[in-house]
Each structure stands twice: as C-alpha cells, then as structure tokens.
Amino acid sequence: MKDGVTSKLNANFLLLSSAGVIAMFAAIWHLLCIVGGPSWYIFARAPEPIINSAINGTWLAPLGASLIAILMVICSFYALSAAGIWRKLPLLNAALFIVGSICTFRGIIAIPLLVSSKGIDIWQVIASSVWFYTGLCFIYGYLNQRHLKRLARK
C-alpha cells in the first residue's frame, strides 16, 4: 500500500477505536448511575424528571439509563466495525453518519449552556468536548468508508 493510504487507514483505526472506547465507557457510566443512585444522576446532569425518578425509586431513571447504555454499546460496535476490529455491521455508513451527526450536534449545542449564572460548568465543557471529538471520529470514519468504496469500484 502507498504511504498515504496506510496513514489514512491508521488514522481511521485510531479515531474509530477511540470513539468506540468512549461510547463503551459512556454505556458503562450510564449503568453505574443506576447502581450509584440519585447523586450519580445529579452529578451526570440528568434531566430533572430522571433525577426525581431516581430519588423516588420509580422505573424511569433505570429504564432510561439502560436504554441509553444499549444505544451506546451499539454505537461502540459500529465504531469498532468501521475500524476493522469487529465484523462489518449492516448499514455501517448510515450508522456512522447518523451517530457522528448526533454526537457532533451534542458537542456544539451545549456551548451556550456551558456558561450559566454560576459560571462555567466544567462537567459540561468536558462532556461536550468529548462528544464533539467522538462525533468527528464517526464522521471521519463515514468519509473514509465512502472513499474506500469508491476505490473498490475502480
């Protein structure tokens, strides 16, 4: 392989592997919130109804956290699939584009919320930066997959 193609494949592997690891840690974090209880939901800046559910012991908080964890695991598998670590999953390009768009949007949309009357929310800065990076990794993987398909057609 040419050096340019090799370096693109290495970048694709590293970026998508890191996105897969981040998504897996996010899944684990959401499951840990269930175990950790209301204080963990509060720390994670969960919406008020979720925090109230955790405090009151209703099913909304653990069900919501479990569903998000499942989605994060699926995202992780798609990232690892595109990186070549996991088998090729169906609708790979569509998943990479959709997940990348959602994560990037999540990273950008929080910018106005980062500064409140109480000052800068460091947790939001870190979370937004991580999701923005993760989104860019997925988008890079999507663009790389498209490029590889074009090369295969030639």
**pLDDT (mean) for 49-63:** 97
Residue 34 has pLDDT above 80, yes or no: yes
Confidence class for position 114, pLDDT limits 50, 70, 90: low
pLDDT of residue 10: 87
When mean pLDDT is compared across 50-59, 63-72, 109-118, 141-150, the lowest value belongs to 109-118
Q: What span, in angstroms and rounded, lies between the C-alpha atoms of 78 and 89?
A: 7
pLDDT of residue 36: 97
Q: What span, in angstroms and rounded, lies between the C-alpha atoms of 141 and 17?
A: 10
When mean pLDDT is compared across 20-24, 38-42, 103-107, 111-115, the lowest value belongs to 111-115
Mean model confidence pLDDT for the chain: 90
- pLDDT tens figures, 74-113: 999 999 999 999 899 999 999 999 999 999 999 998 777 6
Q: Are 144 and 5 in contact (CB under 8 A)?
A: no
The pTM for the full model equals 0.89
Q: How many C-beta neighbours within 10 Å does residue 112 have?
A: 8
pLDDT of residue 6: 65
Q: Are 38 and 51 in contact (CB under 8 A)?
A: yes
- Closest to 91 (Cα-Cα) out of 74, 108, 114, 111: 74
